[in-house]
Amino acid sequence: MKKYLLPVIMLAIFETVAITLWLTMDNLFYLLNFSYIGISIALGIFLFLRKYKHARRVTQLLVGLYMFFYLGVMCRENMQIEGFWYYLFTGVFEAATIHYAVAKIFGPLIFGRGWCGYACWTAMVLDFLPYKVPMQPRKKIGWIRYFTFALSLIFVASLFLAHLGNMEKIMFRAFLMGNLLYYAIGIGLAFLFKDNRAFCKYICPVTVFLKPMSYFSLLRVTCDTGKCISCGKCKRVCPMNVDVTDHSRKRKNGTECILCFECVKNCSKDAL
């Protein structure tokens, strides 16, 4: 039973967030929202421990579809980074702000870039593409993320400076258009670079938050050097080009790890 401790811990963390927000904000939505996400994540980890091949994808689809269709399309909440800036500017502590605080700013201190592996609705689609393992060496164009990050901020600031009316409607349209753009660029880059996760590596503005915070992540894949035979399989199957055999936090592409556990599944020596 000890091996099932991890899903229980994850569920407990999310339930703590759910109950705390429910009581402090006096809003039942937070209890249901974070409980649903916690159960989906715990289920994914449980299935992984039961060696179900598509365990991560189950969680990714459960959370990603819920976020995109329910929160984004049905509740008309801009869950993109533009929505985060928007609600921050208006001073409204809404779902998008809380979502960013939990999943992308403070949460990564505990679960690193788990968001990218198990919840993101952009990657949920990109992971269906044929290049699960990158077929080309990594490009040195990661600086683009700072550009898109600044662009998202400038876009929202311009809307406020222009004193436009009906901002909620504009932000909803920006959410739909932004997602279409992300999917188009993400799919195009995946085929161009033969790498499903090219968008995550070079373009995604959210990584400006995710990368530095996940450097300190409590949850991380480590290597038992006593068992490792340096076969290199883990590095070959990693979608994010992480040198997981290096134990240090400064390991190559360390802040790129999305906790997909492909390396762990493929290590024949159980060194990870």
Sites of contact with ligand SF4 (CB under 6 A)? 116, 120, 122-123, 199-200, 204, 206-207, 221, 223, 228-234, 238-240, 242, 244-245, 257-263, 267, 269, 271-272
Closest separation in Å from C-beta 171 to ligand SF4: 19
User: Within 13 Å and on the Cβ side, how many CA atoms surround 249?
Assistant: 11
CB closer to ligand SF4, 21 vs 238:
238
Least Å distance, CB 271 to ligand SF4, is: 4
Nearer to ligand SF4, 31 or 37 (CB): 37
**C-beta of 234: minimal distance to ligand SF4 in Å?**
3
Measured CA to CA in angstroms, residue 78 lies from 99, 117, 129, 227, 240 at distances of 11, 21, 26, 47, 27
Task: Please give the DSSP secondary-structure letter assigned to residue 139.
Answer: P
Q: Are 217 and 112 in contact (CB under 8 A)?
A: yes
Dmax (CA) for the chain in angstroms is 63
Q: Residue 33 or 245: which CB sits closer to ligand SF4?
A: 245
Residue 123 to residue 61: CA distance in whole angstroms? 10
> In this structure, what are the phi and psi dihedrals at residue 130, rounded to the nearest 5 degrees?
-80, -10
> Is 30 strand, coil or helix?
helix
Least CB distance to ligand SF4 at residue 162 (A): 28
Minimum CB distance to ligand SF4, residue 231 (Å)? 4
- Least Å distance, CB 35 to ligand SF4, is 22
Q: How far is the CB of 245 from ligand SF4 (least distance, A)?
A: 5
Looking at beta carbons only, is 49 or 228 nearer to ligand SF4? 228
| Nearer to ligand SF4 (CB atom), residue 52 or residue 160 | 52
Residue closer to ligand SF4, measured from CB, 189 or 244? 244
Contacts of 192 (CB under 8 A, 6+ apart): 198
Nearer to ligand SF4 (CB atom), residue 31 or residue 59: 59
Cα 50 to Cα 71: distance, rounded to the nearest angstrom: 31
Pick from 117, 140, 139, 137: nearest CA to 64: 117
Distance CA 202, CA 235 (A): 19
Structure tokens at 188: 């195009």
